Chain A
Amino acid sequence: MSDVLAVAEHRRGDLRDVSLELITAGRDLADAQGGDLHLAVIGGDAEGFAGELNREGVDAIHAVDDGNEFNHDVYVQAVEQLFDEIGAGTLLLPNSVNGLDYAPAVAERLDVPLVTDAIDLAHEDGLSVTREMYASKVATTVDVDAAEVVVTVRPAEWPKAEGEGSADVRSFDPEIDESTVRSTVKGFEEVGGGDVDISEADVLISVGRGIEEEENIELVEALADALDATLSSSRPIVDAGWLPKNRQVGQSGKVVTPEVYIAIGISGAVQHVAGMKGSETIVAINTDSNAPIMDIADYAIVDDLFDVVPELIEEFGGEPP
């Protein structure tokens, strides 16, 4: 028997979806382990968030009133103390950007093993976690032989918890050693604005690292023109400065849901897919039939983009550059 503690995530006044997904993952695990599911929410309108988090399956919610926004030095101390106080066995944290910023430190403090980016959890003799390796080309199972463990959970893998809960909401008052708070969040800034809003487009021609060189961008530009579509891209194209930031699809770019999304030379990394999996029809043009993008594509051409794209431009009466 062992309890699960999951920590919610919020930003600038809003609870993030992954918090509700953690409840689903945490409830299943707590059932398998015969324990309770505790949630923690730290900072911001903790009491208000606790109300939103009170979904079916949650046994207790601990609200920590400290600060407005995420500060990892505060989170690390609060979570460490709460985990000890509850005597929980599993700590479930989101594998979000902020999760990356505190989960490893909490595991270190608690001196317990860490398994990141779980896509499935099972408990029989012990905890067994499924995660991916080699840019999602393979999945692995890892077994954890320890009474306590920190696991981070991939966003958007578990459904959001629903139904009204009847959890007991308590406030928890950790002792924060202010001298160890050596980082200060000064503010936030929205980036990637500008003239084009790719999330408005009906058809997106999206280009990835398979395009190889900056001068080849005009090839996909010509295709976008011929189709009267909008050009977007994966991250490496923006990192290299070949297209502006407002064209980036994915976790740190834009979420798009066009009628048709044509991924050209894009492998389909999880952070890319996070931004386009809601597209109505997904087409992949890729030389690698094993690329993860094939798992979510509706249509595929397994071939060299430098052969296919010029043909496609001609199909629509355009002229390849």
Chain B
Amino acid sequence: MKILVTVKEVAEAEDEFEIDGLDIDDRYLEYDLNEWDDYAIEEAVQIGEDGDDVEVVSVTIGPERAEETVRMGLAKGVDRAIRVWDDTIAGTDDLDVAAKAEILASVVEAEDPDVVFSGVQANDDTFGATGVALAERVGFEWAAVVNHLDQGSLSEGTASVRRELEGGVEELTDVELPAVLTIQTGINEPRYASLRGIRQAQSKPLDVQGLEDLGLDADVVESPVERTAVFEPETESDVVTFDGDANEEAAQLAEMLRDKGVVEG
């Protein structure tokens, strides 16, 4: 069995930041493995550990900097990684969902996995859409927001999953393989990479491919969706901030709570 995991290195804004043109100024961004993809990796690696002959491959569309998080996946047990990047992609401001789906689809076609795990959302631009778009493009079945997978069902050609709906309701669904599952946090407990894993990751294959290598034209990155403004949302908030040192702040909050009569003491 082959499992493909899509992973993204996401940017997170520091507490204080400045906007530069159509993005947060790069000086105020920190990069990390997308939280949801960490759970997707763990799910795949667990299946790999429990089964014979399971290969776990990760794919990321991202610049060289992203290799740090790609290696983190390898250190956690991913067998092999693919990173897609070239000058054409680098020259595009935003890859929209369709462009990502098209690029990832060509990887799926080349790798022919039984199941693809992606994250529910990438925590920087939060499209929440790439996995399902990819499934439709390659003709796979899918399930979004999966918080439980019966791993044993995979060998029978099905993914028996739970989809986490709103308000504490879960939907029990069977989807035929091949399928894309978008993985929700909490489905498992992601491991930390061991020192041994980190050492081994250095010698695991990490292939870099461009659009041409994947048989794609440069125009796949073109999009009718264009970001035209970035701003800090206006707040209608009239929050009262308690000032002072921790002791003074606590005293003011306590007074407020006592005034409201919701607490005693």
Interface string of B218-239 (1 = CB under 8 A from A): 0000011111111111011101
Residues in B neighbouring A185, C-beta threshold 8 A: 171-173
Interface string of A104-141 (1 = CB under 8 A from B): 11011100011111000000000010001111111111
- 8 Å CB contacts to B: which residues of A127-159? 128, 132-146
| Residue in B167, B223, B226, B233 with the greatest tally of chain A CB atoms within 10 Å | B167
Given A137-B13, A138-B24, A144-B225, CB of A116 within 8 Å of CB of B169: no
Tell whether, in the assembled complex, residue A107 and residue B169 are in contact, meaning their CB atoms are under 8 Å apart: no
Tell whether, in the assembled complex, residue B172 and residue A186 are in contact, meaning their CB atoms are under 8 Å apart: yes
CB nearest neighbor in A for B164: A252
Show 8 A/B contacts (Cβ-Cβ < 8 Å), sorted by A.
Answer: A104-B133, A115-B225, A136-B233, A141-B227, A144-B226, A183-B143, A289-B241, A311-B251
| Residue in B132, B242, B251 with the greatest tally of chain A CB atoms within 10 Å | B132
| Residue in A11, A72, A132, A191 with the greatest tally of chain B CB atoms within 10 Å | A72
Tell whether, in the assembled complex, residue A108 and residue B166 are in contact, meaning their CB atoms are under 8 Å apart: no
Question: Is residue A238 within 8 Å, beta carbon to beta carbon, of the partner chain?
Answer: yes
For chain B, the count of residues having a C-beta within 8 Å of the partner chain is: 84
Tell whether, in the assembled complex, residue A103 and residue B129 are in contact, meaning their CB atoms are under 8 Å apart: yes
Give the interface SS of chain B, mostly helix, strand, loop or mixed: mixed
Tell whether, in the assembled complex, residue A109 and residue B136 are in contact, meaning their CB atoms are under 8 Å apart: yes
Question: Is residue B204 within 8 Å, beta carbon to beta carbon, of the partner chain?
Answer: no
Residues in A neighbouring B137, C-beta threshold 8 A: 108
**Among the listed B167, B228, B253, which residue makes an inter-chain contact with A312, where contact means beta carbons less than 8 Å apart?**
B253
Counting from the closest, the 3 A-B pairs by CB-CB distance are A311-B250, A239-B186, A307-B246
**In the bound complex, CA of A254 to CA of B137 (Å):** 35
**In the bound complex, CA of A76 to CA of B141 (Å):** 12
**Among the listed B132, B260, B263, which residue makes an inter-chain contact with A105, where contact means beta carbons less than 8 Å apart?**
B132
Tell whether, in the assembled complex, residue B237 and residue A297 are in contact, meaning their CB atoms are under 8 Å apart: yes
Residues in B neighbouring A288, C-beta threshold 8 A: 15
**In the bound complex, CA of A287 to CA of B16 (Å):** 11
Tell whether, in the assembled complex, residue A290 and residue B16 are in contact, meaning their CB atoms are under 8 Å apart: yes
Question: Is residue A101 within 8 Å, beta carbon to beta carbon, of the partner chain?
Answer: yes
CB nearest neighbor in B for A253: B168
Q: Number of A-B pairs whose CB atoms are under 8 Å?
A: 265
CB nearest neighbor in A for B170: A189
Tell whether, in the assembled complex, residue B233 and residue A139 are in contact, meaning their CB atoms are under 8 Å apart: yes
CB nearest neighbor in A for B162: A189
- 8 Å CB contacts to B: which residues of A16-44? none
**Among the listed B123, B172, B224, B237, which residue makes an inter-chain contact with A296, where contact means beta carbons less than 8 Å apart?**
B237
CB nearest neighbor in A for B135: A105
Question: Is residue A83 within 8 Å, beta carbon to beta carbon, of the partner chain?
Answer: no
Tell whether, in the assembled complex, residue A183 and residue B176 are in contact, meaning their CB atoms are under 8 Å apart: yes
Tell whether, in the assembled complex, residue A134 and residue B13 are in contact, meaning their CB atoms are under 8 Å apart: yes
Question: Is residue A229 within 8 Å, beta carbon to beta carbon, of the partner chain?
Answer: yes
**Binding stretch for chain A, among B69-77, B93-101, B194-202, B206-214:** B93-101
Q: Which residues of A contact B (CB under 8 A)?
A: 11, 72-73, 76, 95-98, 100-105, 107-109, 113-117, 128, 132-146, 182-192, 202-203, 226-229, 235-236, 238-241, 245, 251-255, 259-260, 281, 283-284, 287-291, 294-304, 307-308, 311-312, 314-317
Question: Is residue B203 within 8 Å, beta carbon to beta carbon, of the partner chain?
Answer: no
Question: Is residue B217 within 8 Å, beta carbon to beta carbon, of the partner chain?
Answer: no
Given A226-B265, A228-B264, CB of A142 within 8 Å of CB of B228: yes
CB nearest neighbor in B for A69: B171
Given A105-B135, A117-B128, A141-B227, CB of A235 within 8 Å of CB of B186: yes
Tell whether, in the assembled complex, residue A134 and residue B174 are in contact, meaning their CB atoms are under 8 Å apart: no
Q: Shortest distance in angstroms between A19's beta carbon and chain B's nearest beta carbon?
A: 13
**In the bound complex, CA of A97 to CA of B128 (Å):** 10
Q: Shortest distance in angstroms between A203's beta carbon and chain B's nearest beta carbon?
A: 5
Question: Is residue B50 within 8 Å, beta carbon to beta carbon, of the partner chain?
Answer: no
Tell whether, in the assembled complex, residue B185 and residue A236 are in contact, meaning their CB atoms are under 8 Å apart: yes
Residues in B neighbouring A192, C-beta threshold 8 A: 168
**Among the listed B17, B136, B185, B224, which residue makes an inter-chain contact with A113, where contact means beta carbons less than 8 Å apart?**
B224
Question: Is residue B262 within 8 Å, beta carbon to beta carbon, of the partner chain?
Answer: yes
**In the bound complex, CA of A184 to CA of B158 (Å):** 11
Question: Is residue B117 within 8 Å, beta carbon to beta carbon, of the partner chain?
Answer: no
**Among the listed A97, A139, A203, A236, which residue makes an inter-chain contact with B262, where contact means beta carbons less than 8 Å apart?**
A203
Given A133-B125, A140-B227, A299-B253, CB of A190 within 8 Å of CB of B141: no
Tell whether, in the assembled complex, residue B225 and residue A138 are in contact, meaning their CB atoms are under 8 Å apart: no
Additional A-B contacts beyond A140-B229, A182-B141, A185-B173 (13; CB < 8 A): A96-B166, A104-B129, A104-B133, A113-B223, A114-B127, A114-B133, A133-B230, A138-B19, A187-B172, A294-B239, A300-B240, A301-B242, A311-B250
